[in-house]
Each structure stands twice: as C-alpha cells, then as structure tokens.
Structure 1
Amino acid sequence: MTASAPVSIPVFKLYGEQQDWLSPDLLHCETISLRSRVHDWEIRPHRHADLCQLLYVHKGRARVEIEGQFHELAPSAIQVIPPLCVHGFQFSPNVEGFVLTLAAPLVAQLQAQLGGSMSALQRVASYPAGKDRNYLNSLFSALQSEYVSAQPARDMLLKSLISVLLVWVTRQVIQRREARQIPQRGREYLNLFNQQVEALFHEQPSVEQLAHRVGISVAHLNSICRELAGQSALQIMHQRLLLEAKRHLIYTPMSVSEVADSLGFVDPAYFARFFRRLTGTSPSGFRTDRTDSVNPV
C-alpha cells in the first residue's frame, strides 16, 4: 500500500484567483454572495499568505471552518481571519453580509496607529454585533458602496471607514479581556471583604467602612458579593454576626443580654429583633430548641 501524498493547502490572493493582487487598493470589499454563489455557497479550505479578512454575516447561516474546527457564525457577527490561517465557509443561499480583505501593508499602517491593540487582527475570533447590529450593517454597507465607487477622496473615506470598524473590533477585544479579568479580580475583592468582616464583625462596621477598607465603592462591592456569593454585602455581614450569636447561645452560658453586648448590640431588644428576623425565632427560643435536641427527654 503506497503512502498517500500530503494534502497541499492552496495559497490564494482571493479565493479562486491565482493571479497577483491586481488592484492598487490595499483592501477589497465584496458581498458574501458575490463569490460564494459561484462556488455553490461553499468556500473550500484555503489560506492567504499576506491578507487579513473580516467576514460579516448579518442574515442567513454561515458555517465557519478554522484550522479543521467548525462553528456556526450566528447573525449578526464578525469573524476575524488572520493571514496564513486555513479557513473555509459554508453559507445558506439567503446569506447576507460582506467580506473585507486587508493587505499586509494596510494592516501595518493601522497597527502603527492603534499600537498593541491591533492584536485584534492577529488572532482568530468572532464578535457578535449585539446592540450594534444596525451600526455595523450601515458601516459595512458604506464600505461596500464606497469601494465600488469612483468618488473624489475615495481612498481617504475608505481608510476612515475601516479605521472606525477596527476601533469597534478592538473595543470588543478589550471588553472580552476585561470580562475574563473581572471574576478573578472580583474574587480577590470578595476575599478581602470577608477578611474584614471576620476581623471587625464584633464592631458592626457599616458597609461603607468595609468597602473603603477593600478599596472599592459600595455599589461595586455589592455587585461582586451578589455575583460571587449570592448575597449583598450587608447580608454577608449579618450572616457572620448571626453565626457568632448562635455559637454563643449554643456553647456558652452567656445570657441573651451578654451575647448582645459581646456582639456590639447596644440594646438587647434590638438584638432579639435582629435574630428573629433572620431565623424566625427568638434567641431564647433558639437556645431552648437546640438544648432540647441535644438532650431529649
């Protein structure tokens, strides 16, 4: 049995074109249907040596293959495809959208303007349009319209529109990066908050005081507590206070008044109301119930 020859992935300027890049433009913009219709709505796996592409789908179905991995690109969304990345597409006949191709010199110019943020064009990623769907529809439509026109200052307007688009993509990259960082940062803040609660709950500090010690606002602290602990900051503080009250009532002979005083309650009656609100019973009733359960008759 003879070994099969290795599969050779073609390198095209644009899919289906073997010739060099003929246009003086450093970009190319066309509708998805223009090229995919000719190929029966399927663009087979290929790669571009020095071109970056942004596929924008705002209607219909697009199945994207990237380096042998498949995913559905739900409308409306942008797919970024860096140079030399093997990619292919399968579209539904009702697909609507655009393919924007940027040559390496133009990408380099944009990279110089945006600095490190231009890493948005150096990795495979897809970005849902979300609330910006109409905005992106208009932006890509304007790009396509200007690309096929011969109006004065065409190059200037094209570069301006592309800059606007790439700012949008870059902001998505930054938001996604920050979203990944928030949980870890939030856990760090929650740990600091719990440490402060543990150290100071006897003094019954305010939420504002503990938020100040953690170094964030009350609103931010509450948001983190609700997201990661399922409770507000005040509820966490009250639960720690309640736990200590229960410990005193169960394991010490202290009177209810003494327990209240040890936990920073200036009024035993207020302590009793606090305890009943969180447990549904009075401190004395809680102690009696626990004593009876430990020493049944």
Structure 2
Amino acid sequence: MSSTRPTAAIPVYKLYGDSLDWPTPDLLHCESIPERSRMHDWEISPHRHADLTQLLYIRRGWALVEVEGVQTRIDEAAVQVLPPLCVHGFRFSERVEGYVLTLAAPLLARLEAALGGHQAPLGIAGLHAAGKDRRYLDTLFDAIDREYRTPAPARDLLLQSLVGVLAVWVGRQMLVRQTNTHPLRGQALLVAFTRLVETDFCRRHSVEDYAHRLDITPAYLNTLARRFTGQTAQGVVHERVLLEAKRQLIYTTMTVSQISDNLGFSEAAYFSRFFKRLTGLPPREFRNRR
C-alpha cells in the first residue's frame, strides 16, 4: 500500500470504489468495515474524498492505516479521523471489527456551528486511542449503525445527535493532545470554497462570484475542483443543491414549486429540468419512488 503517486493520479470517491454520486439523501453513511473491505480483498488503495469526513473505528483486529504517506499499525481500539482531501488507504485483518462513518459537508458544518466555531475536531486528521472509553465507543457506534439501518420517527435528528456526541469525544481527545496540521494552499482553498458553498448554495452564486470571494481566478478554482473532487466548481455547487433538493423531497411535504423557490430557482420548470438532468427522474417521480 503506497500513496507515492502524483496528486492527479489519486482517485477521488464518495465511497471507495463507487462513483462520484453521494448514495443517500442522508447526511451520513454508516457501514461495517468488513462490508466494503471484504469486496476488495481487505485492502483499500490510497484515495481521497473531496468534501466528506470519515471516521474509522477499529474495534477488534488490526489495521494498517496510511494517511498522507505515513503508515500506522492499529492493534488496539481506536478512532481514525480523515478530513476532506486527505489521502488515505487501509489494509485490514480478515477478523477486523468496526465501522466506517462518512459525514457529508452540511452535517460537518452544523457540528462546527454547534461546537461554537472552535477549530473543528473532525476537520483535522488524527488517530485517537479508545483507551478506557472502549465500551462507550462500542455503544455509540452500535447505536449509530442501528439507527442508520432502521427507519423510525425522528431518525435524522437522533443520528445527528449521536454524531454530535462523537464529535465532542474527538474534540476532547484533541484538547489533550493538541494535534495540529497545516494543509497545502490548494487544499485549503478548496476547503474554503466548499464552506462558502455550504453557507449560501441557495443563492445561486456563479463560479466567478466564489472565485472573487476567494481572491483567485475562476479558471484556478475549476482547476482545484477538478484536481481534488473530480468535477468542476459548478459541479460541486450543483451537487450540494441536488442533495438538498432530495432531502426536501423526501423529508418535507413542500410542493415542488415551494422547493424550487427555497433553493433559489427562478421557476419550478427550471428546477425540474435541473433535477431530472442530474438524477434521470422528475422531482415528483423521485419523491413517489422514495
């Protein structure tokens, strides 16, 4: 397992081995480590996620974790935090137990706001030993996995609350260890861009507007987006708008026209064409199927 390839050669995924589409209208995805790694012979090659944060919880067994070219063997229960754009790969024992929790940018932004704007604990790569909190983390991750897999009233709220508990735990480990990293300028700009998109994606800003606010050219912003996300800057914006559209179609009773207005479209027909172009389905049919 090695990540010595140039940046452009490192693949970008939503979930490892999948396309660039986020597979769920939820703001998080949870699966056991064996679910995906078994399909890849227990080895996940170096890759990155453009706008997702992952938490890898090793409960039992061992794992060889590579983060930005540095390999660490994990033999005891621990949580590995992998922020957006961080190049990482894994090799697992066949008896490994644990979970991979993937958080979308909107959920990460909410957690940062809830934590009072302090340095985001889930925005910094770090390995945190479970230690005496082993049973606590077992219970927490089991609860997240169970709630994720079981449709129930207020599921979205409970999932976000449970992830909030986990974010607080990671933050407290960081206070003890005073972990710090310094991202490259290009990565830092792309992170700043995705945060701007999250703040006001409903206002339908152009790529030129975002580039101006970042004090870079639109061409350079597109270059960064393609390098780290595999799509254009406009594609990043459209993906965020589409995620919100899906969530409002599934989790609210708003009409298509109301959702169109809420997302900043000038008319419902334009919104419907936008949605069908990206999903293959008109909004109403998407809602009915879900």
Q: Shorter-chain TM-score category? A: 0.5 to 0.7
CA distance in 1, matches of 2:53, 2:47: 13
Secondary structure of the 1:115 match is: coil
Cα separation, partners in 2 of 1:119 and 1:19, compared to 1, 3 Å = closer
CA distance in 2, matches of 1:175, 1:125: 12
Report how far residue 117 of structure 1 moved: 3.6
Report how far residue 6 of structure 1 moved: 7.9
CA distance in 1, matches of 2:16, 2:35: 12
Cα separation, partners in 2 of 1:125 and 1:73, compared to 1, 3 Å = same
1:98-134 CA-to-partner distances (Å, cap 9, x unmatched) read: 0000011110111011034442112211000111000
**Do structure 1's residue 109 and structure 2's residue 110 form an aligned pair?**
yes
Q: Which runs of 5+ in 2 are unaligned?
A: 180-290
Question: Match of 2:145?
Answer: 144
Runs of 4+ residues deviating >6 angstroms = none
Contact kept in structure 2, 1:117 and 1:170, CA below 8 Å = no
Is the radius of gyration larger for structure 1 or structure 2? Answer: 1
Secondary structure of the 1:29 match is: strand
Alpha-carbon RMSD? 1.8
**Identity within the alignment, %:** 58
Question: Match of 1:169?
Answer: 170
Give the letter aligned to residue 10 of structure 2: I
Cα separation, partners in 2 of 1:6 and 1:168, compared to 1, 3 Å = closer
Report how far residue 68 of structure 1 moved: 1.1
Secondary structure of the 2:85 match is: coil
CA distance in 2, matches of 1:125, 1:22: 26
Report how far residue 7 of structure 1 moved: 5.8
CA distance in 1, matches of 2:40, 2:25: 26
CA distance in 2, matches of 1:88, 1:126: 14
User: In the TM superposition, what are the counterparts of 1:259-278 in structure 2 within 5 Å?
Assistant: none
Secondary structure of the 2:54 match is: strand
Question: Match of 1:89?
Answer: 90
Q: Which has the higher contact order (CA 8 A, sep 6+)?
A: 2
Cα separation, partners in 2 of 1:5 and 1:154, compared to 1, 3 Å = closer
Secondary structure of the 1:38 match is: helix
Report how far residue 175 of structure 1 moved: 1.8
CA distance in 2, matches of 1:116, 1:47: 25
Contact kept in structure 2, 1:66 and 1:88, CA below 8 Å = yes
TM-score normalized by structure 1? 0.57
Question: Match of 2:22?
Answer: 21
Give the letter aligned to residue 86 of structure 1: V
CA distance in 1, matches of 2:7, 2:78: 34
Cα separation, partners in 2 of 1:9 and 1:157, compared to 1, 3 Å = same
TM-score normalized by structure 2? 0.58
Question: Match of 1:157?
Answer: 158
